[in-house]
Homo-oligomer: A and B are copies of this chain.
Amino acid sequence: MVVMTRWLDPDEQRTWRAFLTASRALMETLDRELQRDAGMPHAYYEILVRLSETPERQLRMSELAEATGSSRSRLSHAAAQLEASGWIRREECPTDRRGQIAVLTDAGFAALAAAAPGHVEGVRRHLFDALSPAQVDQLRRISETLADHLTGS
């Protein structure tokens, strides 16, 4: 027998729509701020952040894709742009001749340093300032659960 659709009840509808509205508005706001103030989309900012957090400020393309939750293709296109901007450079990997290593340049680090305070302030204003400490904790648990559920299936 064909399984009936488990439709959303009114409460679930409300939850789902509120989540859609909020997350979209949040991401669009932050993306716009970053684009305006630092000339880069949020996805590129994240790439620079991840690179800056490693000891050598470099990462294999595939690890970088994993870390930023991006497809290899997306990262490849992004890396081409970031390289054209002079913010990263790509080097050959000595241990795997297929591999490429993305390296954060000094200019890239400087761009990140310039962008970070404004962006962090935005995250604080638009997200953390609006929520109680308890809600922040709830949001962390919910997000971690969802992330596990989505990436682990």
Mark A residues whose CB is within 8 Å of B. Answer: 5-8, 11-12, 14-16, 18-27, 29, 46, 69, 116-117, 120-121, 123-124, 126-131, 135-147, 149-151
B128 touches A135 (CB 8 A): no
Known A-B contacts A15-B140, A142-B131; the reply to A25 vs B151 at CB < 8 A is yes
Set of chain B residues within 8 Å of A142, measured between Cβ atoms: 22, 131, 135, 138-139, 142
Q: List B contacts of A151 (CB < 8 A).
A: 21, 25
A123 to B26: give the CA distance in the assembly, Å. Answer: 20
B22 and A144 contact, CB distance less than 8 A: yes
Q: Which residues of B contact A145 (CB under 8 A)?
A: 130-131, 135
8 Å CB contact of A25 from B25, B26, B150:
B150
Secondary structure dominating the interface of A: helix
Given A120-B5, A120-B7, A121-B6, residue A130 in contact with residue B143 (CB < 8 A): no
Interface contact A131-B146, CB-CB below 8 Å: yes
Check A19 against B135 for contact (C-beta < 8 Å).
no
20 sample A-B contacts, Cβ–Cβ < 8 Å, listed by A number = A5-B117, A11-B136, A15-B136, A16-B123, A18-B140, A18-B147, A19-B127, A19-B139, A19-B140, A19-B143, A20-B46, A22-B142, A22-B144, A22-B150, A23-B27, A24-B69, A126-B150, A131-B146, A138-B142, A139-B139
CA distance A12 to B128 in the complex (A): 8
If A20-B69, A25-B151 are given as contacts, then 5 extra A-B residue pairs at C-beta distance below 8 Å, sorted by A number, are A18-B143, A25-B69, A25-B146, A130-B146, A130-B150
